[in-house]
Amino acid sequence: MPMIDVYATAGTFPDTHQLAVDLAAAVMTIEQVPDIPMFRQNTAAFIHDLPRGGNRGDPGVGGAGRCRS
């Protein structure tokens, strides 16, 4: 089933629930899955809040977040 994980410093996104809903819908669109209950109920987006300083990415970018699908 389509899913996406987002790792970001806690507080980066003001409404993580809405972000997860929007990302799940975007993943369904990108993956071109049919809009049927099986996919709507099993497509997921997970927002992982990390402690400040707990996210290390590219030093030139500042490590604000990471997205993996």
Residue 64 domain flag: no
Q: Which CATH number is 25's domain given?
A: 3.30.429
Q: Which residue has the higher pLDDT, 33 or 65?
A: 33
The reported pLDDT for the residue numbered 3 is: 83
**Total domains, the chain:** 1
Cα–Cα nearest to 44, from 30, 25, 65: 25
Residue 34 domain flag: yes
Residue 68 domain flag: no
pTM: 0.71
Strands 3-9 and 44-50, sheet pairing: parallel
The reported pLDDT for the residue numbered 52 is: 80
Residue 27 domain flag: yes
| Full domain range(s) for residue 29 | 3-56
Residue 47 domain flag: yes
The reported pLDDT for the residue numbered 66 is: 56
CA dihedral sign of residues 60, 15, 48, 4: negative
pLDDT 10s digits, 10-57: 999 999 999 999 999 999 999 999 989 998 888 889 999 888 876 565
